[in-house]
Amino acid sequence: MSKELTVINGFDEIKGLVLNGIANENTRYAYENGLDIFLNWYQDQGKTALNKSVVQEFRSMLDMTGQAPATINLKLAAVRRLVVEAIDNNILDPIAGEGILRVKGIKARGVRTGNWLTKQEAQEIINTPDISTLKGLRDRAILAVALGSGLRRSEIAALKVDNIKMRDSRWVILDITGKGGRIRTVPIAPWVKKATDQWLSKANINSGFVFRSTQYKGKLIGEKISDQAIQDVIIKFTGLSAHDMRRSFAKLAKQGGCPIEQIQFSLGHQKMATTELYLGSTQDLTSAPADFLGLTIN
């Protein structure tokens, strides 16, 4: 008799094994969210076993909600990870598991444009925090690093004082570790260094992590800020995500005349095609076909 994973005989246990095996905080959060959504749907539908047809039905449900393909595929990836753990722990029959692993994701339909800041918006935002307070100095420095370097929020949270060095007569963020453990060096402008220095000086930070949590009266809390706290600061002042700040960095650099390959190096992309998606290189919204029609209405 083949083994089938049910809610009763191991689902929650395997979910714990999945999450414990993920080191990246953002990925772990996304997978936990995806598995919770799957489990809630699974229970609401009265399912009693996990198999290929169940996962296909789950995929169809997600597709009908109008979610982006990337969002749906992330949830499916979480389910696949759960299946692998269930097989490895002898809770799910390997043949049934292989069927689930063959369930394909949703293909992207077109290219999402995404969000980014204009130069004027970016200029206004980096001067918005109240720098008469310690927290305001920190928030401005976070915005400056995000806009002025294109680092991911996890990379900003992991930034250390020793990463900021002088190389070839300019300031850089040296040997930052990004996705897949890839190491890169990111040049920064003097205004980014200035905003960071003013925060570090006021907070009396000489070593360790650059960004820390702060209390109302300015006392530092802990040795490191979380990835989510970086996201919260960016959303507070921009209404956009940290990922949109990376996109803004790329767009503004390209508009200013920076070669695309140099933008690729700073962002840490392995493929030029990924950088082109950030830039929206295949579609120019500032000089679009509609602008050349020459038509008006009264």
Q: Where are the domains of the chain?
A: 7-101, 119-279
| 192 or 25: which leads in pLDDT | 192
pLDDT of residue 204: 94
Does the domain at residues 7-101 carry the CATH identifier 1.10.150.130?
Answer: yes
Q: How far apart are CA 31 and CA 28, in angstroms?
A: 5
The span from the first CA to the last CA of the chain, in angstroms, equals 75
Please state which CATH number belongs to domain 119-279.
Answer: 1.10.443.10
Q: How far apart are CA 115 and CA 128, in angstroms?
A: 20
Let me know: does 211 contact 161? Beta carbons within 8 Å: no
pLDDT of residue 73: 85
- Nearest to residue 68, comparing CAs of 238, 260, 243, 283? 243
Q: How far apart are CA 141 and CA 131, in angstroms?
A: 10
The three-state secondary structure class of 147 is helix
In angstroms, how far is CA 192 from the centroid of its own chain? Answer: 21
| 42 or 111: which leads in pLDDT | 42
Q: What is the DSSP letter of 105?
A: -
The pTM (predicted TM-score) of the whole model is: 0.60
Residue 2: pLDDT over 50:
no
Q: How far apart are CA 266 and CA 173, in angstroms?
A: 10
